[in-house]
Amino acid sequence: MTRNVQVVRPDESLQRAAQVMDELNVGALPVCDKSGLVGMITDRDITVRATAAGLPANTRVADVMTDHARWCTGEQTVQEAMQQMSDVQIRRMPVVDAENRVVGIVSLGDLAMRHQGHVAAALRRISDPSMPDRPSN
């Protein structure tokens, strides 16, 4: 798990989120407000939901983030975290405390370093083609 995770606020711009991702060389950031985790934004969200749709760089993170993001707690087992990630085909998942504050982020790479046997199966499930979440035009 990576600790001391940089987060962005829902009211920040996509440009700011992209700058933070570039500075940290990461592809995803938790989105938090004063109540805690409210979503995730990825480089793919910015590319597909914003840039491809012609949205300006000052568009709010809240407008393109994935809300209701999956998360786990530090009390969950590695197997439970991997199962959650594979169920919804994600490669990164925030770790929250009892107050919904982000305390870390776990990635498939983190899990692979420690649990190689289980990760291969999870990676296969995560990499399966997914169904579109909206109809195509």
For each of the domains in the chain, give its residue range(s) and CATH number, in order of start. 14-127 (3.10.580.10)
Would the pLDDT of 45 be above 70?
Answer: yes
Question: Cα separation of 55 and 62, whole Å?
Answer: 13
Of 43, 48, 52, nearest to 25 (Cα)? 43
Which position has the higher pLDDT, 16 or 117? 16
Instruction: Report the Cα 81 to chain-centroid distance in Å.
Output: 13
Mean pLDDT confidence for 9-25: 97
Q: Which residue has the higher pLDDT, 32 or 130?
A: 32
pTM score, whole prediction: 0.81
| Whole-angstrom Cα Rg for the chain | 15
- Which residue type does 31 have? V
pLDDT-based confidence at residue 50 (cuts at 50, 70, 90): very high
Q: Which amino acid is present at 50?
A: A
- What's the rounded mean pLDDT across residues 63-74? 94
Taking the alpha carbons at both ends of the chain, their separation in whole angstroms is: 39
In tens, the pLDDT along 75-126 reads 998 889 888 998 888 989 999 999 999 999 998 877 776 666 555 555 566 5
Q: What percent of the chain has pLDDT over 90?
A: 63
Burial zone of 137 (CB within 10 Å; 0-12 exposed, 13-18 middle, 19+ buried): exposed
| 135 has pLDDT over 60 | no
Residue 54 predicted with pLDDT over 80: yes
| Average of per-residue pLDDT values in the chain | 87
